[in-house]
Chain A
Amino acid sequence: MDEIVQEFLVESHENLDQLDRDLVALEREPGSRDLLGSIFRTIHTIKGTSGFLAFGKLESVTHVGENLLARLRDGKMSMTPRTTDVLLAMVDTVRDLLSAIEQQGNEGDADVSAVVEQITALLEGNEPALEVVPAAVVDAAAVEPVEAVTVEPVVPEPVAEVPAPVAVPVVEAVPDATTPVAEHPEEPTTRRSVADSSIRVDVDLLDTLMQLVGELVLTRNQIVRQAGDQRDVELSRSAQRLNLIASELQEGVMKTRMQPIDNLWAKLPRVVRDLGAHCGKQVTLSMVGKETELDRSLLEAVKDPLTHLVRNAVDHGLETPEVRAAAGKPAEGVLTLRAYHEGGQVVVEVSDDGAGIDADRIAAKALDRGLRTAGQLAQMTPTDVLQLIFLPGFSTAAAVTNVSGRGVGMDVVKTNIEGIGGTIEVESVVGRGTTCRLRIPLTLAIVPALTVECAGDRYAIPQLSLLELVALDADRAAHAVEDVNGASVYRLRGSLLPLVRLTDVLGVESDRSDGHVLIAVLQAEGKRFGLVIDRVLSTEEIVVKPLGSQLKAIGTYSGATILGDGRVALILDVQALARRVLNMDALDQEDDAGEDSRAAGGENLRLLVAGLGEGRKVAIPLSSVTRLENFDRSALERVGNREVVQYRGGILPVVRLNNYYGVMSDRDGEELVVVIYTVGDRSVALVVDEIVDIVDEVTEFHDEVTDHGVLGSTLVRDRIVEVLDVRAAIMSADPTFYTDHEMPELLEAM
């Protein structure tokens, strides 16, 4: 049955109940204008909708009923027992017609003319002596299979005050009427009526329920924790059961807030049609997975980004029919919306079969706008390059159109999606089309999170942005956390992970003094970084509570939650945190493209840039740098004419790079900055003035600028840096260093 008819039935059933109450009340106080007005409105509503839905009989009955009620209401007629009878008869008829519609999908073959006549007679002032047998008329007809009869709608006389769509033909009802009614004789008793199987619930009530469930989840967490502490089998069994029930209840209540994404999509065909017409493009919109459900609040939040993506696809993605024809594609472009559940998330895709996005063009633009350097771009995969369209300040539209080029770019879409804990990515094949994929959490209200401690306070980190946890005991932490000129880094599986201390971000004092380091590896804005915290407490489902306006403005917290012990904990906004503390350029690239490409072709190198004094900087291939150390000047010893240093039970030759290059060191402290450089199982200590930077890229060497001990030069952040000829430098200190080991990697790389 049509959704609209369903809704009409539900609404009408409710109205009829009201009507019955009103009519009974009316008998007691016959003159009440209020009651008459209420009855009139109810009948009027049913009449209007039934006319619209082409239920001719219903309309004709309610129409005359409405006329009668209008007269009564306006005092032109007064209530008599006879009037009440007739009105009740009318209501019964309406009710019967409605149940016929519900069961058969049409009005059946009931005869309504008797009721209509009675009312008309009343209206005209002559009261027929006919006894009213209201319900029986319809009942008999509805149950007995009767041969198809052509329904002659009683066309209501046009009334000026009611602009009901009278002209809607009732012809559709005719073929339906031929359906043998006998086919479902039991149905009326077995099937729950529409009105009984669904109820309308106030959204506020649902929100309150959700909140209560949230409380329950918290209490559960509390009890489960306490039960875990005690060795009471019974208690832990009950706790487990509670755990299960609470989870199910939570799921159930969450479901009540779910709405199909179709509620959102329903508006899009119009948007696409209008926009297509405006841009001179022919577009077919296909929607897959309309019934995919999403939390109400999220649905609302996704609305604008999704509309933007759809507009974008029509405006920029799809080509005009001429261009499409020239490319051998059908003139009509296809825009596909697809929604499905995947791994606790809802995925929404917006795909077009248009021209696609050329990664090279994006790269050129990013370079042009200064968003990325050539080196960075060269290191990125085409897929990564495409994601650059989400950067602020990026717009691919060659010309600003009034359709999507209104200053609201893809970066806003991304920000909005990330604001609700979602992600967005784009993929495209030139000439074949583009797909934007949104991943949205099912609900915002309850999220899994890691609770951590920092300076005695507890904070929650949403699991969504958490990649892994790294715990270092004091011994390991002492040398595993390294320093790039003041910026802490940790070598996570070979690549440097920038570290951010939560205490520094929040401006509080850590209460951890035992030297242990706990790192939560987080991902935000497509980058990784490590958040150093004091302690990891647990993972639990937390209920997100909104923060007051003055706290939202801080931009570090996305909300608050109540922990198992009733205390409040702040939820860290990882995205905002990343933006706040990290110089986005310097961030660790999420993918390991650097290593991969080096393995494949050796085009890219990560370089450690070191200062030597007199403003001279050299770059050292990072792949062979194992550690950065600070040595006391007195740690250096002389063996013959060479300097050495004891290091982890071995003796390392020392190369003072400033001497090697013949520049004066600017450093005069007692500490030496040393780069431990390792090839095979042998290492050398390179003494530099300072560590300046680690850069992720080297694409081309300019060999023209060669000098003693320099392999070439490269552009690092628009400055020329010499690349150290490590081999030559080391040979100068220890001629035997390479006797057993070549430097395959460096040689290849060069």
Chain B
Amino acid sequence: MSARLVTFTLDGRLYGVDVNAVQEVLRGQPQTRIPLAPDTVSGLINLRGQVMSAVELRARLGLPDRQVDQEPMLVVVRVAGETIALLVDTIGAVMDVDDDQFELPPDTLAGPAREFLFGAYKLDNQLLLALDVDRAAAA
């Protein structure tokens, strides 16, 4: 069994989401801020006439905020009938990974990340963290 993941980076780490969940990948778009919204929802984006929420994955995973001058990239995913844009740092390649490379998250992993990660694929030079996109994008 193997999986195909769209990869991206967040705070120097490599993450991946199932390619089937990804609609498209694009450059940062103007956002409309939403007062009173949870921190993880950074704003609303108009993608060709469709309004979608932008979820700040850094906030979701408990990572430090992105530097102001760094423009985020968007990974647009379809989750439970909704289209949601995930804000990430940079987009990587689409990678095929094998199940025997996979390992569950270490027991020492705590915090919000544990809830949103399936586990890690051990690549030759680094780890590819598989994101549970359904949970990460949901409220």
Instruction: Find out whether the CB atom of A549 lies under 8 angstroms from the CB atom of B32.
Output: no
Binds A, one of B11-19, B41-49, B89-97: B41-49
Q: From B37, B41, B51, give the contact of A562 (CB < 8 A).
A: B51
Could you tell me the distance between the alpha carbons of A545 and B52 in the complex, rounded to whole angstroms? 9
- The interface of chain B, by Cβ under 8 A from chain A, is 30-38, 41, 43-46, 49-53, 82, 84, 138-139
Q: Are B37 and A560 in contact (CB under 8 A)?
A: no
Nearest CB to that of B36 among chain A residues? A554
User: Given A548-B139, A554-B37, 9 other A-B contacts at CB below 8 A?
Assistant: A214-B49, A457-B32, A457-B35, A507-B36, A548-B53, A548-B84, A554-B36, A562-B49, A568-B31
Complex interface bits, A427-449 against B, C-beta within 8 A gives 1, otherwise 0: 00000000000000000000000
Contacts of B46 in A (CB 8 A): 562, 566-568
Contact for A550 among B31, B43, B138, CB less than 8 A: B138
Select B45's contact among A507, A551, A568, beta carbons within 8 Å.
A568
Residue of A whose beta carbon sits closest to that of B33: A457
A568-B82 CB under 8 A given contacts A211-B49, A548-B53: no
Kindly state whether residue A101 has any CB partner on chain B within 8 Å. no
The answer to the question of A506 belonging to the interface, with a C-beta cut-off of 8 Å to chain B, is: yes
CB of A207 within 8 Å of the partner chain: no
B53 touches A551 (CB 8 A): yes
Residue of B nearest to A580 (CB): B36
Contacts of A457 on B, CB cut-off 8 Å? 32-33, 35
Q: Could you give 28 example pairs across A and B, Cβ below 8 Å?
A: A214-B49, A218-B49, A455-B35, A458-B32, A507-B36, A545-B50, A547-B51, A547-B53, A548-B53, A548-B82, A549-B82, A550-B37, A550-B53, A551-B53, A556-B35, A556-B36, A557-B34, A560-B44, A560-B51, A561-B51, A562-B51, A566-B30, A567-B30, A567-B32, A568-B45, A568-B46, A568-B51, A570-B34
**Nearest residue, chain B, Cβ from A559:** B51
| Complex Cα–Cα for A211 and B48 (A) | 11
Give chain A's interface secondary structure class.
mixed
In the bound assembly, the distance between CA atoms of A569 and B45 in angstroms comes to 10
The closest CB in chain B to the CB of A219 belongs to B49
CA distance A548 to B38 in the complex (A): 12
Contact A568–B32 (Cβ < 8 Å): yes
* Chain B residues with CB below 8 A from A553, complex form: 139
**Chain A residue contacts of B37, Cβ below 8 A:** 550-551, 554
Chain B: CB-nearest residue to A543: B49
Residues of B within 8 A of A548 (CB): 41, 52-53, 82, 84, 139
Residue of A nearest to B30 (CB): A567
Provide the bound-state CA to CA distance between A548 and B32, in Å.
14
Using a CB-CB cutoff of 8 Å, which residues 296-317 of chain A contact chain B?
none
Interface size on A, residues (CB 8 A): 29
B23 to chain A, nearest CB (A): 15
How near does chain A come to B9, taking the closest CB pair, in angstroms? 25
Question: Which residues on B sit within 8 Å (CB–CB) of A458?
Answer: 32
Contact partners of B84 in chain A: CB under 8 A: 548
Compute how far the CA of A551 lies from the CA of B32 in the bound complex, rounded to whole angstroms.
13
The interface residues of chain B lying within 8 Å CB-to-CB of A211 are: 49
Q: Chain B residues near A545 (CB, 8 Å)?
A: 50-51
Bound-state CA distance A551–B139 (Å) is: 8
Q: Contacting A551 at CB < 8 Å: which of B30, B31, B34, B49?
A: B34
Q: Knowing A568-B32, A569-B32, A570-B34 touch, does A549 contact B139 (C-beta < 8 A)?
A: yes
- Tell me the complex Cα distance, A1–B10, Å: 67
- In the complex, the answer to whether B32 meets A550 with C-beta atoms within 8 Å is no
Q: Are A550 and B38 in contact (CB under 8 A)?
A: yes
- Nearest Cβ distance between residue B58 and chain A, in whole angstroms? 17
Cβ of A328 to closest chain B Cβ, rounded Å: 58
Closest 8 pairs (CB-CB, A-B): A550-B139, A506-B35, A545-B51, A568-B32, A568-B44, A548-B53, A560-B51, A215-B49
- Distance to closest chain A CB from B54 (angstroms): 10
Cα distance A506–B30 when bound, in Å? 21
Residue of B nearest to A554 (CB): B36
Interface presence of A508 (CB below 8 A): yes
A234 to B86, CA, bound (A): 44
Give CA–CA (A42, B92) in the complex, Å: 54
Once the chains are docked, how many angstroms separate the CA of A455 from the CA of B34?
12
Task: Select from chain B the residue with minimum beta-carbon distance to A569.
Answer: B32
| Shortest CB distance A729–B (Å) | 47
**A507–B37 Cα gap in the complex (Å)?**
11
- Kindly identify, within residues 100 to 148 of chain A, every residue whose CB is under 8 Å from any CB belonging to chain B: none
In the complex, what distance in Å separates the CA atom of A553 from the CA atom of B138? 12
Residues of chain A lying within 8 A (CB to CB) of residue B49:
211, 214-215, 218, 562
A359 to B123 CA separation, bound complex (whole angstroms): 76
Let me know if A550 and B51 touch, CB within 8 A. Answer: no
Q: Is A570 a contact of B139 with CB atoms below 8 Å?
A: no
Complex interface: chain A residues within 8 A of B35 (CB): 455, 457, 506-508, 556
Nearest CB in chain B: distance from A449 CB, A: 15
On whether the beta carbons of A570 and B32 are closer than 8 Å, the reply is yes
Q: How far is the CB of A495 from chain B (nearest CB, A)?
A: 30
Residue on A with the closest CB to B139? Answer: A550
> What residues of B have a CB within 8 angstroms of the CB of A215 in the complex?
49
**What A residues does B36 contact at CB under 8 A?**
506-507, 554, 556
State A264–B8 Cα separation when bound (angstroms).
50
Chain B residues lying within 8 Å of A568, measured Cβ to Cβ, are: 31-32, 43-46, 51
